Copies of this chain bind each other. A is one copy, B any other.
Amino acid sequence: MNFSSKILEEAVDQVSQLPGIGKRTALRLVLHLMRQPEHNTDALSDALLKMRHDLNFCKKCHNVSDVEICEICASHNRDQSIVCVVEDIRDVMAIENTSQYRGLYHVLGGKISPMDGIGPQDLKVRSLVDRVKNDGVTEIIFALSPTIEGDTTNFYIFKQLDGLEVNTSTIARGIAVGDELEFADEVTLGRSILHRVPYENSLKN
């Protein structure tokens, strides 16, 4: 693209470095900001800087939080003995939205992925083991994506927990509610039969 202004080009370059945003979309967004009042751009810029510099993470579960120990970890209404291990904060939000879980979380910050150069040392695994040792955690629920990386990470953590008094489980894999059976992939369908639940249990929700 030939820009008639270096300032415009720099803005488009910066915006197009965001994932999933190409040069054309970046230009569209920048032109939008150009047409809006100046304080809109100021507010956007402020919010991004504040997010990047002032955002804190819960000392316990590593979820984003404005205070040292996040609301969930500090809550007396949550079961402190169960910890659900997730990849990032979006998973916490997704599970919280279900209102079905009353335990705590542990945000790993990613999955073991040699292709992306992410090893166990880049994830919050050690602090999870410490929580099991020191905080009276009796059950760990693995809720990572069912990919090779997710399974590898689960297994790595499982090995690290070896010898500790803690139960481990994974979230159920199966046919999504509302899905047609015939369109399910065979691995998922196979697991859903292998891990079938008593009919009475399925009536509870």
Contacts and interface: CB of A to CB of B under 8 A. Distances in A.
A44 to B, nearest CB: 4
Contacts of A8: 51, 55, 64, 89
Contact of A65 (B5, B15, B34): B5
Interface stretch (A21-29, A150-158, A184-192): A21-29
B48 A14 contact: yes
Given A47-B10, A55-B34, A71 B41 contact: no
A183 to B, nearest CB: 24
Nearest to A110: B35
A3 interface: yes
Contact of A33 (B52, B54, B72, B93): B52
A6 interface: yes
A43 interface: yes
Given A64-B8, A71-B4, A33 B51 contact: yes
Given A4-B71, A33-B51, A41-B51, 5 more contacts: A2-B97, A17-B40, A18-B44, A31-B88, A41-B49
Interface of A: 1-8, 10-11, 13-15, 17-21, 25, 27-34, 38, 40-45, 47-56, 58, 63-66, 70-72, 88-90, 92-93, 96-97
